[in-house]
Amino acid sequence: MSGDPSKAEAKTGSWVRAGDGTGDRTIEENWLFRLRKERFRSRQSGKEHDFYVIHLADAVHVVAITPEDEVLVVRQFRAGSGRDSLEIPGGLVDPGEDPREAGARELAEETGYTGDPPELLSTVWSNPSLVTSRIHTVVIRNARRTVDPDPDENEELVVDRVPAAELPAMIVGGKIDHALVVAGLLWWLGTRTPGILPGPSGARTS
Amino acid sequence: MSGDPSKAEAKTGSWVRAGDGTGDRTIEENWLFRLRKERFRSRQSGKEHDFYVIHLADAVHVVAITPEDEVLVVRQFRAGSGRDSLEIPGGLVDPGEDPREAGARELAEETGYTGDPPELLSTVWSNPSLVTSRIHTVVIRNARRTVDPDPDENEELVVDRVPAAELPAMIVGGKIDHALVVAGLLWWLGTRTPGILPGPSGARTS
Protein backbone atom coordinates (compact mmCIF):
# COMPACT_ATOMS: atom_id res chain seq x y z
CA MET A 1 0.00 0.00 0.00
CA SER A 2 3.04 2.27 0.09
CA GLY A 3 2.23 3.58 -3.38
CA ASP A 4 -1.16 4.86 -2.29
CA PRO A 5 -1.02 8.66 -1.96
CA SER A 6 -3.88 8.69 0.55
CA LYS A 7 -1.81 6.54 2.85
CA ALA A 8 1.47 8.32 2.17
CA GLU A 9 0.04 11.25 4.08
CA ALA A 10 -0.77 9.12 7.12
CA LYS A 11 2.34 10.34 8.89
CA THR A 12 0.77 13.75 9.23
CA GLY A 13 -2.21 12.38 11.17
CA SER A 14 -2.87 11.52 14.77
CA TRP A 15 -3.17 7.86 13.80
CA VAL A 16 -0.75 5.72 11.79
CA ARG A 17 -1.09 2.32 10.16
CA ALA A 18 -0.57 -0.40 12.76
CA GLY A 19 2.29 -2.84 12.32
CA ASP A 20 2.89 -4.57 9.00
CA GLY A 21 -0.70 -4.69 7.78
CA THR A 22 -1.36 -8.25 8.95
CA GLY A 23 -4.30 -6.89 10.96
CA ASP A 24 -5.96 -5.76 7.72
CA ARG A 25 -8.63 -7.66 5.85
CA THR A 26 -10.13 -7.24 2.38
CA ILE A 27 -13.88 -7.81 2.59
CA GLU A 28 -14.90 -7.17 -1.02
CA GLU A 29 -13.07 -6.36 -4.20
CA ASN A 30 -14.77 -5.58 -7.51
CA TRP A 31 -14.42 -3.41 -10.62
CA LEU A 32 -15.59 -0.33 -8.73
CA PHE A 33 -14.06 -0.40 -5.25
CA ARG A 34 -12.17 -2.40 -2.65
CA LEU A 35 -13.70 -2.57 0.85
CA ARG A 36 -11.15 -3.19 3.58
CA LYS A 37 -10.90 -3.24 7.33
CA GLU A 38 -7.59 -1.58 8.16
CA ARG A 39 -5.83 -1.35 11.49
CA PHE A 40 -4.48 1.97 12.72
CA ARG A 41 -2.66 2.93 15.91
CA SER A 42 -3.24 6.12 17.84
CA ARG A 43 -0.02 8.05 18.37
CA GLN A 44 -1.74 9.66 21.32
CA SER A 45 -2.93 6.62 23.28
CA GLY A 46 -1.00 3.81 21.55
CA LYS A 47 -4.32 1.98 21.15
CA GLU A 48 -5.07 0.13 17.92
CA HIS A 49 -8.41 0.34 16.16
CA ASP A 50 -9.89 -1.13 12.97
CA PHE A 51 -11.45 1.29 10.49
CA TYR A 52 -13.50 0.43 7.41
CA VAL A 53 -11.93 1.92 4.29
CA ILE A 54 -13.47 1.90 0.81
CA HIS A 55 -10.79 2.32 -1.84
CA LEU A 56 -12.53 4.12 -4.70
CA ALA A 57 -11.07 6.06 -7.66
CA ASP A 58 -11.10 9.84 -7.70
CA ALA A 59 -13.95 11.49 -9.56
CA VAL A 60 -14.43 14.69 -11.53
CA HIS A 61 -17.41 16.98 -12.06
CA VAL A 62 -17.59 19.55 -14.82
CA VAL A 63 -19.10 23.03 -14.73
CA ALA A 64 -19.56 23.40 -18.50
CA ILE A 65 -20.71 26.90 -19.45
CA THR A 66 -22.20 27.77 -22.83
CA PRO A 67 -21.66 31.14 -24.54
CA GLU A 68 -25.22 31.96 -23.36
CA ASP A 69 -24.14 31.54 -19.68
CA GLU A 70 -26.02 28.28 -19.33
CA VAL A 71 -24.61 25.33 -17.38
CA LEU A 72 -24.93 21.77 -18.66
CA VAL A 73 -26.78 19.34 -16.41
CA VAL A 74 -27.54 15.63 -16.73
CA ARG A 75 -30.34 13.67 -15.13
CA GLN A 76 -29.68 10.04 -14.35
CA PHE A 77 -30.68 7.21 -12.04
CA ARG A 78 -28.68 6.79 -8.84
CA ALA A 79 -29.00 3.52 -6.93
CA GLY A 80 -27.96 4.95 -3.54
CA SER A 81 -30.84 7.39 -3.49
CA GLY A 82 -33.03 5.02 -5.50
CA ARG A 83 -34.15 7.78 -7.84
CA ASP A 84 -33.08 10.12 -10.61
CA SER A 85 -30.58 12.83 -9.73
CA LEU A 86 -29.93 16.15 -11.47
CA GLU A 87 -26.17 16.65 -11.63
CA ILE A 88 -23.42 18.24 -13.65
CA PRO A 89 -21.55 15.87 -16.00
CA GLY A 90 -18.72 13.81 -14.57
CA GLY A 91 -17.34 10.42 -13.71
CA LEU A 92 -14.36 8.52 -12.43
CA VAL A 93 -10.81 9.61 -13.21
CA ASP A 94 -8.86 6.86 -14.98
CA PRO A 95 -5.55 5.74 -13.38
CA GLY A 96 -2.85 8.31 -14.22
CA GLU A 97 -5.33 10.62 -15.94
CA ASP A 98 -5.22 14.35 -15.24
CA PRO A 99 -8.53 15.45 -13.67
CA ARG A 100 -8.87 18.20 -16.28
CA GLU A 101 -8.54 15.69 -19.13
CA ALA A 102 -10.94 13.36 -17.34
CA GLY A 103 -13.46 16.20 -17.06
CA ALA A 104 -13.24 17.06 -20.76
CA ARG A 105 -13.54 13.37 -21.64
CA GLU A 106 -16.58 12.78 -19.43
CA LEU A 107 -18.25 15.95 -20.70
CA ALA A 108 -17.86 14.85 -24.33
CA GLU A 109 -18.92 11.25 -23.61
CA GLU A 110 -22.01 12.20 -21.63
CA THR A 111 -23.19 15.26 -23.54
CA GLY A 112 -21.31 15.66 -26.83
CA TYR A 113 -20.10 19.09 -25.68
CA THR A 114 -16.54 20.37 -25.86
CA GLY A 115 -15.11 23.77 -25.00
CA ASP A 116 -12.12 25.77 -23.81
CA PRO A 117 -9.23 24.05 -21.99
CA PRO A 118 -10.53 22.80 -18.58
CA GLU A 119 -9.56 24.82 -15.48
CA LEU A 120 -9.25 23.08 -12.11
CA LEU A 121 -11.61 24.78 -9.67
CA SER A 122 -11.42 22.61 -6.53
CA THR A 123 -10.31 19.30 -5.07
CA VAL A 124 -11.86 17.86 -1.92
CA TRP A 125 -12.19 14.46 -0.21
CA SER A 126 -15.62 13.04 -1.01
CA ASN A 127 -16.07 11.38 2.41
CA PRO A 128 -12.70 11.00 4.12
CA SER A 129 -14.03 9.08 7.11
CA LEU A 130 -14.78 6.06 4.95
CA VAL A 131 -13.73 6.52 1.30
CA THR A 132 -10.33 7.20 -0.30
CA SER A 133 -11.89 9.09 -3.21
CA ARG A 134 -11.27 12.74 -3.92
CA ILE A 135 -13.55 14.78 -6.13
CA HIS A 136 -12.27 17.40 -8.54
CA THR A 137 -14.45 20.09 -10.08
CA VAL A 138 -13.28 21.60 -13.36
CA VAL A 139 -14.67 24.51 -15.35
CA ILE A 140 -15.00 24.37 -19.16
CA ARG A 141 -16.09 27.62 -20.83
CA ASN A 142 -17.55 28.16 -24.29
CA ALA A 143 -19.07 24.69 -24.24
CA ARG A 144 -20.77 23.77 -27.52
CA ARG A 145 -22.28 20.57 -28.88
CA THR A 146 -19.60 19.36 -31.30
CA VAL A 147 -19.52 15.55 -31.14
CA ASP A 148 -21.87 12.61 -30.62
CA PRO A 149 -22.33 11.56 -26.99
CA ASP A 150 -20.96 8.11 -26.14
CA PRO A 151 -22.33 7.21 -22.70
CA ASP A 152 -21.39 4.02 -20.86
CA GLU A 153 -23.75 1.09 -21.06
CA ASN A 154 -26.57 1.50 -18.51
CA GLU A 155 -26.02 5.27 -18.46
CA GLU A 156 -29.41 6.63 -19.45
CA LEU A 157 -28.68 10.34 -19.43
CA VAL A 158 -30.99 13.23 -20.13
CA VAL A 159 -28.89 16.30 -20.98
CA ASP A 160 -30.21 19.80 -20.37
CA ARG A 161 -28.93 23.38 -20.04
CA VAL A 162 -29.77 25.65 -17.13
CA PRO A 163 -29.19 29.42 -16.94
CA ALA A 164 -26.39 29.96 -14.42
CA ALA A 165 -28.52 32.55 -12.63
CA GLU A 166 -31.08 29.84 -11.78
CA LEU A 167 -28.61 27.51 -10.06
CA PRO A 168 -28.80 29.01 -6.54
CA ALA A 169 -32.59 28.60 -6.44
CA MET A 170 -32.31 25.04 -7.81
CA ILE A 171 -29.84 24.13 -5.06
CA VAL A 172 -31.79 25.76 -2.23
CA GLY A 173 -35.05 24.34 -3.58
CA GLY A 174 -33.63 20.82 -3.58
CA LYS A 175 -33.75 20.25 -7.36
CA ILE A 176 -29.98 19.71 -7.27
CA ASP A 177 -29.24 17.71 -4.11
CA HIS A 178 -26.07 15.65 -4.73
CA ALA A 179 -23.64 16.96 -2.08
CA LEU A 180 -20.55 16.72 -4.29
CA VAL A 181 -22.31 18.58 -7.11
CA VAL A 182 -23.63 21.17 -4.64
CA ALA A 183 -20.12 21.70 -3.22
CA GLY A 184 -18.68 22.26 -6.71
CA LEU A 185 -21.48 24.54 -7.91
CA LEU A 186 -21.52 26.68 -4.75
CA TRP A 187 -17.74 27.00 -5.01
CA TRP A 188 -18.05 28.09 -8.65
CA LEU A 189 -20.90 30.49 -7.86
CA GLY A 190 -18.74 31.93 -5.08
CA THR A 191 -16.02 32.74 -7.59
CA ARG A 192 -18.53 34.64 -9.74
CA THR A 193 -19.51 36.95 -6.90
CA PRO A 194 -16.79 39.51 -6.22
CA GLY A 195 -15.32 39.18 -2.75
CA ILE A 196 -16.64 35.69 -1.96
CA LEU A 197 -14.07 33.23 -3.32
CA PRO A 198 -11.02 33.51 -5.60
CA GLY A 199 -11.56 32.03 -9.08
CA PRO A 200 -10.09 28.93 -10.75
CA SER A 201 -6.77 30.65 -11.47
CA GLY A 202 -6.18 30.59 -7.71
CA ALA A 203 -7.11 26.94 -7.28
CA ARG A 204 -4.75 24.49 -5.63
CA THR A 205 -3.25 22.05 -8.05
CA SER A 206 -2.61 19.37 -5.37
CA MET B 1 -37.17 -2.88 1.93
CA SER B 2 -40.55 -1.19 1.44
CA GLY B 3 -40.05 0.81 4.62
CA ASP B 4 -36.88 2.38 3.30
CA PRO B 5 -37.60 5.98 2.28
CA SER B 6 -34.75 5.99 -0.21
CA LYS B 7 -36.39 3.12 -2.05
CA ALA B 8 -39.94 4.45 -1.66
CA GLU B 9 -38.96 7.17 -4.10
CA ALA B 10 -37.78 4.67 -6.70
CA LYS B 11 -41.02 5.01 -8.61
CA THR B 12 -39.98 8.53 -9.61
CA GLY B 13 -36.78 7.29 -11.24
CA SER B 14 -35.93 5.90 -14.62
CA TRP B 15 -35.04 2.58 -12.97
CA VAL B 16 -37.11 0.49 -10.56
CA ARG B 17 -36.22 -2.45 -8.34
CA ALA B 18 -36.23 -5.65 -10.36
CA GLY B 19 -38.66 -8.42 -9.42
CA ASP B 20 -39.00 -9.57 -5.82
CA GLY B 21 -35.46 -8.82 -4.65
CA THR B 22 -34.20 -12.40 -5.15
CA GLY B 23 -31.52 -10.95 -7.42
CA ASP B 24 -30.11 -8.98 -4.48
CA ARG B 25 -27.18 -10.01 -2.34
CA THR B 26 -25.82 -8.73 0.97
CA ILE B 27 -22.02 -8.68 0.82
CA GLU B 28 -21.20 -7.21 4.23
CA GLU B 29 -23.19 -6.13 7.23
CA ASN B 30 -21.70 -4.46 10.32
CA TRP B 31 -22.44 -1.85 12.96
CA LEU B 32 -21.78 0.98 10.50
CA PHE B 33 -23.21 0.00 7.12
CA ARG B 34 -24.70 -2.73 4.95
CA LEU B 35 -23.12 -3.30 1.54
CA ARG B 36 -25.48 -4.85 -0.99
CA LYS B 37 -25.66 -5.65 -4.66
CA GLU B 38 -29.18 -4.74 -5.74
CA ARG B 39 -30.89 -5.44 -9.02
CA PHE B 40 -32.77 -2.69 -10.81
CA ARG B 41 -34.66 -2.67 -14.10
CA SER B 42 -34.62 0.17 -16.60
CA ARG B 43 -38.11 1.39 -17.43
CA GLN B 44 -36.64 2.68 -20.67
CA SER B 45 -34.92 -0.41 -22.04
CA GLY B 46 -36.39 -3.14 -19.78
CA LYS B 47 -32.81 -4.28 -19.10
CA GLU B 48 -31.81 -5.36 -15.60
CA HIS B 49 -28.57 -4.24 -13.95
CA ASP B 50 -26.92 -4.82 -10.58
CA PHE B 51 -25.83 -1.76 -8.62
CA TYR B 52 -23.71 -1.65 -5.46
CA VAL B 53 -25.56 0.10 -2.65
CA ILE B 54 -24.08 0.99 0.75
CA HIS B 55 -26.83 1.44 3.32
CA LEU B 56 -25.45 4.01 5.74
CA ALA B 57 -27.26 6.19 8.30
CA ASP B 58 -27.88 9.87 7.62
CA ALA B 59 -25.37 12.30 9.12
CA VAL B 60 -25.46 15.85 10.43
CA HIS B 61 -22.91 18.66 10.47
CA VAL B 62 -23.21 21.71 12.69
CA VAL B 63 -22.30 25.31 11.92
CA ALA B 64 -21.98 26.44 15.55
CA ILE B 65 -21.46 30.20 15.81
CA THR B 66 -20.17 31.92 18.92
CA PRO B 67 -21.29 35.41 19.99
CA GLU B 68 -17.90 36.58 18.62
CA ASP B 69 -18.83 35.30 15.10
CA GLU B 70 -16.44 32.41 15.34
CA VAL B 71 -17.31 28.94 14.01
CA LEU B 72 -16.41 25.80 15.93
CA VAL B 73 -14.14 23.33 14.16
CA VAL B 74 -12.78 19.93 15.14
CA ARG B 75 -9.68 18.20 13.90
CA GLN B 76 -9.72 14.42 13.83
CA PHE B 77 -8.22 11.42 12.09
CA ARG B 78 -10.07 10.07 9.05
CA ALA B 79 -9.18 6.60 7.79
CA GLY B 80 -10.41 7.18 4.21
CA SER B 81 -7.94 10.02 3.66
CA GLY B 82 -5.42 8.46 6.05
CA ARG B 83 -4.81 11.76 7.81
CA ASP B 84 -6.31 14.36 10.09
CA SER B 85 -9.21 16.41 8.76
CA LEU B 86 -10.43 19.84 9.84
CA GLU B 87 -14.23 19.73 9.96
CA ILE B 88 -17.23 21.18 11.68
CA PRO B 89 -18.72 19.02 14.48
CA GLY B 90 -21.14 16.29 13.52
CA GLY B 91 -21.93 12.61 13.36
CA LEU B 92 -24.53 10.02 12.49
CA VAL B 93 -28.22 10.65 13.10
CA ASP B 94 -29.72 7.99 15.38
CA PRO B 95 -32.76 6.06 14.08
CA GLY B 96 -35.85 8.23 14.47
CA GLU B 97 -33.82 11.21 15.65
CA ASP B 98 -34.54 14.68 14.28
CA PRO B 99 -31.44 16.01 12.47
CA ARG B 100 -31.62 19.22 14.51
CA GLU B 101 -31.56 17.25 17.78
CA ALA B 102 -28.78 15.08 16.43
CA GLY B 103 -26.77 18.18 15.59
CA ALA B 104 -27.19 19.67 19.06
CA ARG B 105 -26.29 16.32 20.62
CA GLU B 106 -23.16 15.83 18.51
CA LEU B 107 -22.07 19.42 19.14
CA ALA B 108 -22.32 18.97 22.90
CA GLU B 109 -20.66 15.54 22.86
CA GLU B 110 -17.75 16.60 20.69
CA THR B 111 -17.12 20.13 21.96
CA GLY B 112 -19.10 20.81 25.16
CA TYR B 113 -20.84 23.72 23.41
CA THR B 114 -24.58 24.38 23.40
CA GLY B 115 -26.56 27.28 21.94
CA ASP B 116 -29.81 28.47 20.43
CA PRO B 117 -32.32 25.97 19.00
CA PRO B 118 -30.79 24.36 15.89
CA GLU B 119 -32.03 25.56 12.48
CA LEU B 120 -31.99 23.20 9.50
CA LEU B 121 -29.90 24.79 6.75
CA SER B 122 -29.68 22.07 4.08
CA THR B 123 -30.20 18.40 3.29
CA VAL B 124 -28.37 16.68 0.44
CA TRP B 125 -27.45 13.14 -0.61
CA SER B 126 -23.86 12.47 0.40
CA ASN B 127 -23.08 10.30 -2.66
CA PRO B 128 -26.31 9.05 -4.22
CA SER B 129 -24.63 6.86 -6.82
CA LEU B 130 -23.42 4.46 -4.13
CA VAL B 131 -24.59 5.41 -0.62
CA THR B 132 -28.08 5.81 0.88
CA SER B 133 -26.89 8.45 3.36
CA ARG B 134 -28.14 12.01 3.37
CA ILE B 135 -26.25 14.78 5.12
CA HIS B 136 -28.00 17.55 7.01
CA THR B 137 -26.33 20.81 7.99
CA VAL B 138 -27.79 22.70 10.94
CA VAL B 139 -26.94 26.12 12.33
CA ILE B 140 -26.64 26.74 16.09
CA ARG B 141 -26.15 30.37 17.09
CA ASN B 142 -24.87 31.80 20.37
CA ALA B 143 -22.79 28.70 20.95
CA ARG B 144 -21.02 28.69 24.31
CA ARG B 145 -19.00 26.10 26.23
CA THR B 146 -21.50 24.93 28.88
CA VAL B 147 -20.92 21.20 29.42
CA ASP B 148 -18.11 18.66 29.45
CA PRO B 149 -17.41 17.03 26.08
CA ASP B 150 -18.17 13.31 25.92
CA PRO B 151 -16.61 12.03 22.69
CA ASP B 152 -16.99 8.44 21.50
CA GLU B 153 -14.18 6.03 22.20
CA ASN B 154 -11.43 6.43 19.56
CA GLU B 155 -12.59 9.98 18.81
CA GLU B 156 -9.49 12.05 19.47
CA LEU B 157 -10.81 15.51 18.78
CA VAL B 158 -9.04 18.83 18.88
CA VAL B 159 -11.63 21.60 19.18
CA ASP B 160 -10.91 25.09 17.90
CA ARG B 161 -12.75 28.28 16.94
CA VAL B 162 -12.27 30.07 13.62
CA PRO B 163 -13.45 33.59 12.74
CA ALA B 164 -16.27 33.17 10.21
CA ALA B 165 -14.58 35.69 7.93
CA GLU B 166 -11.59 33.34 7.57
CA LEU B 167 -13.60 30.35 6.36
CA PRO B 168 -13.61 31.18 2.60
CA ALA B 169 -9.81 31.40 2.54
CA MET B 170 -9.52 28.16 4.55
CA ILE B 171 -11.74 26.35 2.05
CA VAL B 172 -10.05 27.73 -1.07
CA GLY B 173 -6.63 27.14 0.49
CA GLY B 174 -7.42 23.49 1.17
CA LYS B 175 -7.29 23.68 4.99
CA ILE B 176 -10.90 22.51 5.05
CA ASP B 177 -11.25 19.85 2.34
CA HIS B 178 -14.04 17.45 3.39
CA ALA B 179 -16.61 17.80 0.57
CA LEU B 180 -19.65 17.49 2.84
CA VAL B 181 -18.26 20.11 5.23
CA VAL B 182 -17.37 22.37 2.30
CA ALA B 183 -20.89 22.03 0.87
CA GLY B 184 -22.46 22.99 4.21
CA LEU B 185 -20.10 25.88 4.91
CA LEU B 186 -20.36 27.37 1.40
CA TRP B 187 -24.15 27.10 1.68
CA TRP B 188 -24.08 28.87 5.02
CA LEU B 189 -21.66 31.53 3.76
CA GLY B 190 -23.99 32.05 0.80
CA THR B 191 -26.86 32.85 3.16
CA ARG B 192 -24.72 35.51 4.87
CA THR B 193 -24.10 37.37 1.64
CA PRO B 194 -27.21 39.27 0.53
CA GLY B 195 -28.55 38.04 -2.78
CA ILE B 196 -26.64 34.75 -2.94
CA LEU B 197 -28.79 32.19 -1.11
CA PRO B 198 -31.89 32.39 1.12
CA GLY B 199 -31.17 31.74 4.80
CA PRO B 200 -32.12 28.82 7.08
CA SER B 201 -35.65 30.13 7.52
CA GLY B 202 -36.21 29.32 3.87
CA ALA B 203 -34.64 25.86 4.07
CA ARG B 204 -36.52 22.80 2.94
CA THR B 205 -37.64 20.61 5.78
CA SER B 206 -37.65 17.58 3.44
Strand partners, B129: none
Express each pLDDT in B29-52 by its tens digit.
Answer: 999 999 999 999 998 889 999 999
Closest chain A residue by Cα to residue B128:
A80
Residues in chain A within 8 Å Cβ distance of B4: 82
Q: B196 and A197 in contact by Cβ < 8 A? A: no
Fold of A5-56: SH3 type barrels. (2.30.30)
Residues in chain A within 8 Å Cβ distance of B50: none
Give percent above pLDDT 90 in chain B.
Answer: 76
Counting as low any pLDDT under 50, the low residues of chain A are: 1-11, 202-206
Residues 6+ positions from A7 with CB-CB distance below 8 Å:
A1, A17, B82
Residues in chain B within 8 Å Cβ distance of A198: 172
pLDDT at A12: 57
CA B190, CA A185: separation in Å to the nearest integer? 12
CA A190, CA A164: separation in Å to the nearest integer? 12
CA A189, CA A165: separation in Å to the nearest integer? 9
Closest approach of B149 to chain A, Cα-based (Å) = 18
Split at pLDDT 50, 70, 90, the class of B155 is confident
pLDDT at B186: 96
Residues of chain B with CATH 2.30.30: 5-56
Q: Say which DSSP state A164 is in.
A: G
CA A60, CA B23: separation in Å to the nearest integer? 31
Mean pLDDT of chain B: 90
How many CB pairs (< 8 A) connect A and B? 234
Closest chain A residue by Cα to residue B124:
A177
Residues in chain B within 8 Å Cβ distance of A13: 77-78, 82-84
**Amino acid letter for position B89:** P
Task: Give yes or no for residue B182 having a pLDDT over 90.
Answer: yes
Q: A126 and B179 in contact by Cβ < 8 A? A: yes
Q: B180 and A178 in contact by Cβ < 8 A? A: no
Contact B120, B203 (CB under 8 A): yes
Give the architecture (CATH level 2) of B59-200.
Alpha-Beta Complex (3.90)
Mean pLDDT of B83-96: 97
Q: B80 and A13 in contact by Cβ < 8 A? A: no
Question: What would you report as the CA-atom Rg of chain A, rounded to the nearest whole angstrom?
Answer: 19
Residues in chain B within 8 Å Cβ distance of A183: 179-180, 182-183, 186
pLDDT at B6: 45
CATH of A59-193, one of 3.30.70.20, 3.90.550.10, 3.40.50.920, 3.90.79.10: 3.90.79.10
Residues in chain B within 8 Å Cβ distance of A124: 177-179, 182
Q: B168 and A179 in contact by Cβ < 8 A? A: no
Split at pLDDT 50, 70, 90, the class of B154 is confident
Contact A61, A105 (CB under 8 A): no
pLDDT at B152: 80
Residues of chain A with CATH 3.90.79.10: 59-193
Residues of chain B with CATH 3.90.79.10: 59-200
The torsion angle over the Cα atoms of residues B135, B128, A176 and B74, rounded to 10 degrees, is: 30
Mean pLDDT of B45-64: 96
Closest chain B residue by Cα to residue A91:
B129
Express each pLDDT in B92-135 by its tens digit.
Answer: 999 999 999 999 999 999 999 999 999 999 999 999 999 999 99
